[in-house]
Structure 1
Amino acid sequence: MRPAGSDEAPVGARRPVSARIRLLPALLCCCAVAAAVGLVLPVLQERLTAGDAGWPTEASWLGRLLGDLTEAQFYAVAPAGLGMLVLAVGAHLAARRGLRLRGFDISYGSGLLPWVVAAALGGLLLSHALWWWTRTGSWQPTFVPFVSVPPAVVLVYGAGWRVAPTAAVLGGVLSTPLALAAVNLVCVPLGLPNVVGNVTGMWSSALVAFALCRRLPWMVPPAPPEGGGPEGPRQRVSWLPRRMLADFTEAQFYGNEWASLGMLAGLLLAWAADPAAPVYGSGLLPALLSAQLFTAALGCWWHADRWRRHGWYPTFVPVVSLAPAAVLTYGDGWAVILGGAVIGALLGPPLARAIIVRLPADFHPFIGSVASMTVTTLVGIGIMGIPDAAGLL
Structure 2
Amino acid sequence: MTTRRPAPPVGRAPGALGRWLAGGALVAAAAGLAYLLSAASGSLPHMLPGYDVWQEQAYARIPAFLRWCLGDTTEAQSFKADLGGLGLLAGSWIAHVAATRRRRWAGFPIAVGTGLWPWLTGSALLGLLLSNLAWGWTIPATGAWQPTFVAFVSIPPAVVLTYGPGWRVALTGAVLGAVLTTPIAIGLVQFVCYPLGLPTSIGNASGMWLSALLAFPLCRILPWFPRRPTPAPDPVDPPRQGPAWVIRRVLADFAEAPFHGNEISSAGLLVGTLLTYLLNPLTPVHGTALLPALLTTQVLTSTLGVLLYRRQWARHGWYPTFVPLVSVAPAVVLTYGPTVPAIVGGAVLGAILAPPLAAYTSRRLPDAVHPFVGNVVSMTVCTAAVVPALGLLPGFVH
| TM interval, short-chain normalised | over 0.9
Cα distance change, pair 262–115 in 1 and its aligned pair in 2 (3 A): same
Amino acid at match of 2:237: E
Deviation of residue 40 (structure 1)?
2.0
Superposition RMSD in Å: 2.3
Question: Contact conserved, 2:341 with 2:396, CA < 8 A, in 1?
Answer: no
What residue in structure 2 maps to residue 190 of structure 1? 196
Equivalent position to 2:111, from 107, 114, 121 = 107
Question: Contact conserved, 1:20 with 1:302, CA < 8 A, in 2?
Answer: no
What residue in structure 1 maps to residue 62 of structure 2? none
Moved more, 116-125 or 31-40: 31-40
Question: Contact conserved, 2:362 with 2:371, CA < 8 A, in 1?
Answer: yes
Deviation of residue 54 (structure 1)?
11
Deviation of residue 51 (structure 1)?
3.1
C-alpha distance in 2, partners of 1:129/1:122?
10
Amino acid at match of 2:289: G
Deviation of residue 233 (structure 1)?
4.8
Deviation of residue 370 (structure 1)?
0.6
Equivalent position to 1:255, from 261, 269, 273 = 261
Q: Percent identity?
A: 49
Question: Contact conserved, 2:23 with 2:243, CA < 8 A, in 1?
Answer: no
C-alpha distance in 1, partners of 2:8/2:391?
42
User: In structure 2, the residue corresponding to 1:283 is in which secondary structure?
Assistant: coil
- Unaligned segments of structure 1, at least 5 residues: none
What residue in structure 2 maps to residue 292 of structure 1? 298
User: In structure 1, the residue corresponding to 2:222 is in which secondary structure?
Assistant: coil
1:312-349 C-alpha deviation (Å, 9 max, x unpaired): 10000000011111111000011110111100000000
Amino acid at match of 1:50: H
Equivalent position to 1:33, from 29, 42, 46 = 29
Deviation of residue 282 (structure 1)?
0.6
Equivalent position to 2:169, from 153, 163, 166 = 163
1:225 matched to 2:235: no
C-alpha distance in 2, partners of 1:72/1:120?
13
C-alpha distance in 1, partners of 2:195/2:91?
40
1:150 matched to 2:194: no
Question: Contact conserved, 1:224 with 1:362, CA < 8 A, in 2?
Answer: no
Amino acid at match of 1:120: A
What residue in structure 2 maps to residue 84 of structure 1? 88
User: In structure 2, the residue corresponding to 1:214 is in which secondary structure?
Assistant: helix
Question: Contact conserved, 2:74 with 2:85, CA < 8 A, in 1?
Answer: yes
User: In structure 2, the residue corresponding to 1:122 is in which secondary structure?
Assistant: helix
C-alpha distance in 2, partners of 1:370/1:132?
23
1:255-293 C-alpha deviation (Å, 9 max, x unpaired): 000000001010011100101000000111111111111
Which TM-score applies when normalising by structure 1? 0.92
Aligned residues: 384
Question: Contact conserved, 1:356 with 1:369, CA < 8 A, in 2?
Answer: yes
- Unaligned segments of structure 2, at least 5 residues: 59-64
C-alpha distance in 1, partners of 2:346/2:284?
20
C-alpha distance in 2, partners of 1:90/1:69?
17
Deviation of residue 49 (structure 1)?
3.2
Moved more, 262-271 or 63-72: 63-72
1:72-101 C-alpha deviation (Å, 9 max, x unpaired): 111111100001101100100000000001
Amino acid at match of 2:78: F
1:123 matched to 2:127: yes
Amino acid at match of 1:101: W
C-alpha distance in 2, partners of 1:47/1:269?
15
What residue in structure 2 maps to residue 379 of structure 1? 385
Deviation of residue 45 (structure 1)?
1.2
User: In structure 2, the residue corresponding to 1:23 is in which secondary structure?
Assistant: helix
Which TM-score applies when normalising by structure 2? 0.91
Cα distance change, pair 266–53 in 1 and its aligned pair in 2 (3 A): farther
What residue in structure 1 maps to residue 374 of structure 2? 368
Cα distance change, pair 387–37 in 1 and its aligned pair in 2 (3 A): farther
User: In structure 1, the residue corresponding to 2:391 is in which secondary structure?
Assistant: helix
Cα distance change, pair 188–53 in 1 and its aligned pair in 2 (3 A): closer
Equivalent position to 2:20, from 9, 19, 24 = 24
C-alpha distance in 1, partners of 2:349/2:371?
22
1:68 matched to 2:88: no
1:164-207 C-alpha deviation (Å, 9 max, x unpaired): 00101110100001101111111111100000000000011011
